[in-house]
Structure 1
Amino acid sequence: MTTNPALDHALRQLKLPAFAHHYARIAEEAATANLSYDRYLQALAEQELSQRDIARQRRCLHQAGFPVVKEFADFDWSAIPSLNRARVLALAQGSYLERAETVLFVGNPGLGKTHLATALGVTAARQGHRVRFATAAGLTAELIQAQSEQRLTKVLAQFLKYRLLIVDELGFLPLSQTGAHLLFQFCSTIHERVSLIVTTNLRFAEWTQLFGSESLTAALLDRLTARAHILEFIGQSYRLRQRRHQMDTPIDPAADNFGAEPQAPTN
Structure 2
Amino acid sequence: MNEAPKLLLAHHLKTLKLPTVLREYDKVAQQCAAEGLDHVQFLARLVELELIDRERRMIERRIKAAKFPAVKSLDSFDFKAIPSLNKMQVLELARCEWIERRENVIALGPSGTGKTHVALGLGLAACQKGLAVGFTTAAALVHELMEARDQRRLLRLQKQLVSHKLLIIDELGFVPLSKTGAELLFELISQRYERGATLITSNLPFDEWTETFGSERLTGALLDRLTHHVSILEMNGDSYRLGQSRAHKARVAADAQH
TM-score range, shorter chain: 0.7 to 0.9
Distance, in Å, in 2 between the alignment partners of 1:87 and 1:148 is 41
| CA deviation profile, 1:6-49 (whole Å, cap 9, x unmatched) | 21121111111111111111222222333332222222211111
TM-score by length of 1: 0.84
| Residue matched to 1:117 | 119
Could you tell me which amino acid in structure 2 is paired with residue 4 of structure 1? K
Matches for 1:236-255 after TM superposition, within 5 Å: none
Deviation at 1:147, TM superposition (A): 0.7
| Residue matched to 2:173 | 171
| Residue matched to 1:135 | 137
Deviation at 1:223, TM superposition (A): 0.5
| Residue matched to 1:199 | 201
| Residue matched to 2:22 | 20
Runs of 4+ in 1 over 6 A off after TM superposition: none
Could you tell me which amino acid in structure 2 is paired with residue 220 of structure 1? L
Matches for 1:81-230 after TM superposition, within 5 Å: 81-230=83-232
Distance, in Å, in 1 between the alignment partners of 2:81 and 2:52 is 38
Q: Which has the higher helix share?
A: 2
Matched, 1:30 2:16: no
| Residue matched to 2:255 | none
Deviation at 1:161, TM superposition (A): 2.5
Distance, in Å, in 2 between the alignment partners of 1:179 and 1:37 is 62
Distance, in Å, in 1 between the alignment partners of 2:78 and 2:42 is 46
Distance, in Å, in 1 between the alignment partners of 2:162 and 2:53 is 27
Q: How many residues align?
A: 238
Distance, in Å, in 2 between the alignment partners of 1:136 and 1:155 is 15
Deviation at 1:127, TM superposition (A): 2.0
| CA deviation profile, 1:117-176 (whole Å, cap 9, x unmatched) | 111111111222211110000000010011111111111111232211100000000100
Gaps in structure 2 of 5+ consecutive residues = 238-243, 250-258
Deviation at 1:210, TM superposition (A): 1.5
Could you tell me which amino acid in structure 1 is paired with residue 10 of structure 2? D
1:4 partner SS: helix
1:198 partner SS: strand
Q: CA RMSD in A?
A: 1.9
Deviation at 1:112, TM superposition (A): 0.8
Deviation at 1:87, TM superposition (A): 0.6
Identity of paired residues, percent? Answer: 45
